[in-house]
Amino acid sequence: MSKDRASRRLPILLCIVASLMLTIAPVPDWAEVYRPDWVPLTLIYWSMLLPRTYSIGWAWVIGLIVDVAQGTLFGQHALALVLIIYIAVKFHLQIRVFPMLQMTATVFALIALYQFILFWINGVAGINAPAVTYWGPVVTGTLIWPLLSVIYGNIRYSASARS
């Protein structure tokens, strides 16, 4: 049983690690602004499907790692992630039966909320950045969600088929 669980968990952990790596991977200057929020997208997907395992505790710890990796205020990404994952877990039964279009709209709202919290904390701390740095990831994140959910869906099916 425990071995079963481990083999089912491993692919998901790899997804999370990959999303962290995509967050710190170097890209050209012009593309920085449009880097999708890989970590929140990944966490939304898995917390929505497996809310008992991947809940806000995970979101908090991973948020702190993102904070350290990006050198932002300690707790900034953690707070934003905890809030959106809280919403995703709270309404996971509704969200996961949504048709793709509606689900993408929900993800858009969640990512926008995530960026708004980052923006808000930056504003309180006196860090200014142009609006495109907040909107860019929302747009690209929403556009990439359908593709990402298909990929994660495949990972989920192959993982459950193996165990």
**Contacting residues toward another protein, per CB under 8 A:** 17, 20-21, 23-27, 29, 32-33, 35, 50-52, 55-57, 60, 63-65, 68-76, 78-79, 82-83, 86, 89-90, 93, 121, 125, 127-130, 133
Nearer to another protein, 127 or 150 (CB): 127
What is the rounded distance in angstroms from the CA atom of residue 85 to the CA atom of residue 89? 6
d(CA 119, CA 131): 9
Find the shortest distance in angstroms from Cβ 72 to another protein. Answer: 8
Q: Closer CB to another protein, residue 100 or residue 125?
A: 125
Measured from the CB of residue 93, what is the shortest distance to another protein in angstroms? 7
Q: How far is CA 121 from its chain centroid? A: 19
Q: Which is nearer to another protein, 86 or 135 (CB)?
A: 86
Q: How far is CA 97 from CA 8, 38, 45, 134, 156, in A?
A: 22, 22, 13, 29, 16
Q: 71 vs 99, which CB is nearer to another protein? A: 71
Query: Shortest gap between Cβ of 32 and another protein (angstroms)?
Result: 5
> Helix 38-49 crosses helix 132-162 at what angle (to 10 degrees)?
40
The length of the chain in residues reads 163
Q: How far is the CB of 125 from another protein (least distance, A)?
A: 6
Task: Give the distance, in angstroms, between the CA of residue 17 and the centroid of all CA atoms in the same chain.
Answer: 12
